């Protein structure tokens, strides 16, 4: 149900508020390029900087703009379980197809705590839940054996965005859960090897800019055209690396501005891309053939 390429959508700002004119343009471009899903208010969407009212309104607007043409997976994770439940119920009421639940950050729960947290969230809603394991940002790693235990407790945890960076751990997760859990890469830089170990797609940063190009990697691999998938992946790889010259979403927002989609405006504590890295990003975009505004 959640295989393919899903865009971790940026949140465009203008003069401190969400730029809904730019949002319309971004969603239209994604739908036209036949993206499989849109993921508002994950890491790339700067979710920690939005108020509850902004969070609720943004998800409602995205659902309305998409109009059922692609899936909408709303980021509703939090480090307080009751907050994650409230955000998830609001997103369910807005009509999303699933929610994305990041590991609770800062408070560093144990594995038993992680299981209890995600179980409580999953049981509070009727729609599917996609887990999001990114230890580099949250300070805690949700381990394969714990994920398997969670799947034994709830029915609506259906997929995981895996961004641990540990390919061996990802293999163990696939070995333990197999088709019970759709594995989605959380890192554009490892998309090809991720597909080779059992992955079914990606929640991508780069697909904000190049949705159809990222889709080609997954489509070619699914068709058994491994050589074509490899060629497309390695063509994209310099741009994948450029998207992480600084903390995500700083580079992708700069790239989207250079391509004419929206402002590169961020909310503190994130600050604009340095001049040195902006030049590197621009060079990578031009080398790939991205048209600049």
Please identify which residue in the block is written with the tokens 């001049």: 275
Please identify which residue in the block is written with the tokens 């729960």: 109
| Cβ count within 10 A of residue 82 | 11
Return d(Cα 137, Cα 155) in angstroms, integer.
27
> Catalytic one among 60, 105, 148, 161?
161
The DSSP secondary-structure symbol of 207 reads: G
Return d(Cα 174, Cα 169) in angstroms, integer.
9
DSSP 145-165: HHHHHHHHH-S-EEEEEE-SS
Contacts of residues 118-124 at CB distance under 8 Å and 24 or more positions apart, as own/partner, are 118/150, 118/154, 118/157, 119/150, 119/153, 119/154, 120/81, 120/85, 121/81, 121/84, 121/85, 121/88, 122/150, 122/154, 122/156, 122/157, 123/154, 124/85, 124/88, 124/89
Q: What phi, psi does 58 have (nearest 5°)?
A: -60, -45
> Catalytic one among 25, 34, 58, 132?
132
Is the alpha carbon torsion for 148, 152, 155, 156 positive or negative? negative
Does residue 132 have an active-site annotation? yes
60-69 in b/e form (b: 16+ CB < 10 A) is bbbbebbeee
Active-site residue set: 132, 161
């Amino acid at each position: 149900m959640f295989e393919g390429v899903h865009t971790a959508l940026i949140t465009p700002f203008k003069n401190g508020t969400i730029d809904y004119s730019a949002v319309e343009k971004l969603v239209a471009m994604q739908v036209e390029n036949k993206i499989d899903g849109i993921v508002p208010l994950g890491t790339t969407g700067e979710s920690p900087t939005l108020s509850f009212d902004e969070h609720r309104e943004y998800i409602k607007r995205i659902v309305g703009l998409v109009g059922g043409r692609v899936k909408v997976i709303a980021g509703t994770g939090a480090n307080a379980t009751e907050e994650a439940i409230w955000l998830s119920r609001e997103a369910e009421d807005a009509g999303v197809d699933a929610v994305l639940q990041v590991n609770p950050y800062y408070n560093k729960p144990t594995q038993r705590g992680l299981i209890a947290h995600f179980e409580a969230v999953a049981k509070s809603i009727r729609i599917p839940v996609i887990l999001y394991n990114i230890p580099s940002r949250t300070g805690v790693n949700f381990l394969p054996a714990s994920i398997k235990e969670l799947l034994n407790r709830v029915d609506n945890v259906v997929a995981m965005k895996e961004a641990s960076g540990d390919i061996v751990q990802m293999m163990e997760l696939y070995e333990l859960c197999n088709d019970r859990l759709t594995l989605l890469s959380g890192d554009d830089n490892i998309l090809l090897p991720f597909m080779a170990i059992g992955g079914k797609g990606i929640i991508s940063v780069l697909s904000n800019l190049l949705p159809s190009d990222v889709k080609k990697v997954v489509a070619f691999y699914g068709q058994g055209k491994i050589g074509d998938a490899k060629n497309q992946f390695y063509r994209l790889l310099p741009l994948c690396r450029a998207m992480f010259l600084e903390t995500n979403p700083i580079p992708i927002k700069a790239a989207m501005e250079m391509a004419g989609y929206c402002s590169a405006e961020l909310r503190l504590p994130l600050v604009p891309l340095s001049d040195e890295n902006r030049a590197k990003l621009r060079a990578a975009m031009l080398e790939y053939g991205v048209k600049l505004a």
